[in-house]
Amino acid sequence: MELSPDAVVRERERLRERGPQVVALANDVRDDLGGAFGVDVDEVTERQYERALDEVFADGALAVNVAALAALLRELDVTDDYPGFVVDELLGRELAAMLAGRQPLRLLAEATFHYADVRADSAAAGGDDLDAALAAGFQTRVPGWDWRETDPFGVDPE
């Protein structure tokens, strides 16, 4: 695999094309988790997904790593899948974390990745992990969870 600036741009476009599927999966996850926690969660829109994707790819160091993980997952397939379970889960979890941002969002995206992965469906071993990582990472990154709107633990600098 060779990662050039042009390859990173192409990867961003591939991920943009996945928008409808990723947003649908992100909203399914938000609906289920919101119900489990007894809260209403705003839906992710395709426009929010695109803006968040653009933010990620505007940071070159982040963009090249996201592009690499996405490309690896897209191409990954393992005969009978189970022997490759560790590698596709590892790559997917890390991609979700990168997309979400800093802690604690990073950890939340990793945990959410596993939930989204159960709901995702693809013919290739890494394909469902790619969609699950995108859904988990971006649903964590974009607004919509009320608890993210306030910060009762933040200490104002004096």
The answer to whether residue 155 is domain-embedded is: no
The answer to whether residue 51 is domain-embedded is: yes
Number of domains in the chain: 1
**Structure token pair of residue 127:** 């394909």
In Å, how far are 33, 80, 125 from 73, measured between CA atoms?
Answer: 25, 16, 8
The answer to whether residue 48 is domain-embedded is: yes
pLDDT (tens digit per residue) in 93-108: 999 999 999 999 999 9
Indicate the SS3 state at residue 70.
helix
Which range, of 81-85, 91-95, 97-101, 132-136, averages the lowest pLDDT? 81-85
Rg (CA), the chain: 16
pLDDT band at 81 (very low <50, low <70, confident <90, very high): low
How much is the pLDDT for 18?
Answer: 94
The answer to whether residue 119 is domain-embedded is: yes
